[in-house]
Each structure stands twice: as C-alpha cells, then as structure tokens.
Structure 1
Amino acid sequence: MRAHAYALGMIETWGFPALVAAADAAAKAADVQVVTYEGADAGIVTVYVIGDVSSVQAAVDAGAEAAKRVGRLLHSHVIPRPDETVPLMIQKKFNQQNAARYDAPKQQEAEQSGVDIPTVSELQGMTINDLRKLARSYTDFSLSPQEIHTAKKEDLLRLLEERRNEGGEPTA
C-alpha cells in the first residue's frame, strides 16, 4: 500500500458549535483544507482536514483549543501520510454529502443548454439515485430532502410524473 504525501487531521467534539469553532480555527491557523465533517451519535461530530504534515498539526492544535473554549473537545489526532485507502473513505463521505450541491448546477446548465426534462419513459428508466437528484433539483418539491432520501422509487416516479404533467421544471 502506498501512503499519501499529505496528512489527515481529525478533531472530534461534542456539539456542533464546538465543531464549527474548531474547523474555523483550523482553517485560519495553517494552509489546510477542511474536507468534511461527520456526525456520530449523541452529539459527537468530527471534522477532517488535510494538508502537509506540519500545517495539519498546527491546524489541529488550534482547532482543538478553539473547541475547548467553545464546547467540549473529545479527541484530536493527526495521521501523517495516511494509507491511500483512508482518504478514499473520507472522499466517499464528502461526495455523498455534497452530491446535491454539485448536481444542482449541472441540472441548471442542462436546462440552459436546451436539454429537456426527462419524459415519463426516461423517468422510469432512471436509477433511484438519479430520481432523487432530479427531485432535489426542484425548489418546491412536495417532499423534503430527508423524505426524498428515504422515498421508494415508485413514489418518486409518481411524484415526478405528476410534476412533469403539471409543467413544473427544476429550478435549483
């Protein structure tokens, strides 16, 4: 297994305000990138930062101090040159969290370029993930983002077909 040339830093807090303070302090303390955060259970949240080893260490130290001031720091840790599978795991989490943010501009570009909204038969041929992305592209869709996330394919198809028949277009 190969190792990456950068480091991975983690700051785990209890409570979101402490996490935000930690991420802000970490980003301001050194040349690092705040990649994502992850919530566990009972208010435990972790923020992930990457950069060169010394920058990540400085950022994690600053973030840990900020978390202590604002709330409760649980743990902080730096992994220098992590194995290549570790960043892939975090990147997958980052991609899942930000899929809607990146897919909305793509949908808007498609609309501006004259691409039509899928027909009923095209909708039926789409995967559940594609249907969810399309549903999220409507600002006033009848389901909340959480309901879209857990909706069955049949329900999304029915609602999207109704929406298409009403003449609604994605607006995100």
Structure 2
Amino acid sequence: MTIAVGVIETQTFPAVLAAGDAMVKAGRVTLTRQERSESGRQFVVVRGPVAEVRRAVEAGLVAAKACPNNAEVTTHVIIPNPQENVDGILPISFSPESEAFRV
C-alpha cells in the first residue's frame, strides 16, 4: 500500500488544531507531527493511504479556514509516495508517539 503524506500550514495554533482534528476524523490517517516552524507558523502532518490523505487534507483546510479571527491557511501539500530519503530526513515520518495510532 502506498503511504502518502499531507501537510497543512497555518498562521495560528487554533487553526492547526482544528485542521488536525478534522483530518483524523475525515480519513483513515495518522497524525504524525504538529510543530511550529521557524517562521512562527504552525503545521500538521498526516500519513495514510493516498485517497484517505486527500480526503483528510480537504477536511482540514475547511476546518482551518472556518476558525474565527481571520485564521489563515498559509499552504498545504499532498505527496502520494515520498522517497525514503525525504521520509527519513524531513519531519514527516512516524514517531514513537504516533506509531501506536498508525493506520
């Protein structure tokens, strides 16, 4: 099975929280990471089957944009099958904390 990665970046923590919650509820995905980037923006990463990640990211975008106080989605991306090198270096892989929830 091809494991995709989906990432949503927002300006605020409430928006990334709403996005992450919507993503895990909308698709059979695992939330693998939530962090603040060096620019101060927030991002959330999910992994799972390609179709499920697409569905989850769509739901996450709607939820993040619905947050009050002009919550802004900065960007998002879906990578259907990241190379091993990308998976090993960038902060998108499963962590010990997320492994228990792996789909």
TM-score, length-scaled by structure 2: 0.80
Q: 1:50 aligns with which of 35, 47, 50?
A: 47
Structure 1 Cα separation of the partners of residues 11 and 51 of structure 2: 26
Structure 2 Cα separation of the partners of residues 86 and 47 of structure 1: 17
TM-score, length-scaled by structure 1: 0.50
Structure 1 Cα separation of the partners of residues 39 and 88 of structure 2: 26
Q: CA RMSD in A?
A: 2.0
Structure 2 Cα separation of the partners of residues 24 and 32 of structure 1: 11
Name the CA shift for 1:17/1:58 in 2 (closer, same or farther; >3 Å).
same
Higher strand share: 2
Higher relative CO (Cα under 8 Å, sequence separation at least 6) belongs to 2
What SS is found at the alignment partner of 2:59? helix
Higher helix share: 1
Runs of 5+ consecutive residues of structure 2 not aligned to the other structure: 98-103
The residue type paired with residue 82 of structure 1 is P
What SS is found at the alignment partner of 2:66? helix
- The Cα shift of 1:39 comes to 0.9
Runs of 5+ consecutive residues of structure 1 not aligned to the other structure: 99-172
**What is residue 82 of structure 1 aligned with on the other side?**
82
Q: 1:27 aligns with which of 18, 21, 24?
A: 24
- The Cα shift of 1:59 comes to 0.3
Identity rate of aligned residues, in percent? Answer: 37
Structure 2 Cα separation of the partners of residues 91 and 33 of structure 1: 11
Q: Count matched residues.
A: 93
- The Cα shift of 1:92 comes to 6.9
Q: 2:58 aligns with which of 50, 57, 61?
A: 61
> Which protein has the larger Cα radius of gyration, Structure 1 or Structure 2?
1
Q: What do the CA deviations read for 1:91-126 (whole angstroms, capped 9, x no partner)?
A: 67946xx6xxxxxxxxxxxxxxxxxxxxxxxxxxxx
